[in-house]
Amino acid sequence: MTTEIRVLLVGDAVGRPGREAVKAIVPSFKSSGRAHFVIANAENSAHGKGITRETANQLLSAGVDVLTAGNHTWDNKDVFNFINNEYRLLRPANYQPVAEVPGRGYGVFDVPEFPGVKIAVTNLIGRVLMAPAECPFRTADSFIEQVKNETPIIFVDFHAEATSEKVAMGWYLDGRVTSVTGTHTHVQTADEQVLPGGTAYMTDLGMTGGHHGVIGVKSPEVLHRFLTGLPVRHEVATDNVILCGALVTADADTGRVVDIERIRIPVD
């Protein structure tokens, strides 16, 4: 009999509204068995920019099993105080120089509901229109080589700007990993699919937070910046809070995907 494991992937949680959305929705996914494991991008969880010990703990306490990050990983300096000791927080594995960067870029995690079943997770960052980094494609190769003997269930959070780079990563890893989903743009895409090799793919999970604004920020400040070119202080948007992401169902024995469902849940 096939054992199916369901993994909820949560798009970038932005500020307090994003954290509250996770706390409102994730526990019911776990308690009902709709999701056995949860991965959430948390790089904007602290006031919309960066991660702190407190914001990480809030998300983990809500039932998130693994936190991923991205280009804003280091924006709140508190992250340096705990990232080396919090194995459930991953930063992009292809930051350079890798040997000198705190934290870890991948991990292999137990699934309590299924003894013996493990999930490998990595966080990669793109290079198109982003700061310099090691090649994410070659880094993905290295990651797969290191974990393939531990588990066939492999999830990749590709934090990238360019749609083309994300799509390319999906095809590059098709048949070798369970899931490749993008984060970073804060705009959910409608291209969720299972690629021919059995890998779930979605260009961007979207944003978890206030959608009455500009990608998680209140619109007046952003409009002022666009109209004048002057710097402004961003304030996190708080209205029309929605949790965005995807639910991936996979065969626990092979890692091949059975289904991917786009998730978009308003929070009252």
Provide the annotated active-site residues. Answer: 72
CA 184 – CA 169 distance, rounded (Å) = 15
CA 73 – CA 91 distance, rounded (Å) = 7
Q: Is the dihedral of CA 101, 102, 106, 108 positive or negative?
A: positive
Placement of tokens 């360019």 in the chain: 162
Cβ-contact 39, 260 below 8 angstroms: no
Of 2, 125, 13, 108, which is closest to residue 64 (Cα–Cα)? 13
Question: Cα 56 vs. chain centroid, distance in angstroms?
Answer: 13
Cβ-contact 261, 230 below 8 angstroms: no
Quick count: other Cβ atoms within 10 Å of Cβ 98? 14
- The SS3 call for residue 12 is strand
Q: Is the dihedral of CA 113, 148, 185, 48 positive or negative?
A: positive
Bridge partners, 154 (sequence order): 120
Please name the amino acid found at residue 87: Y
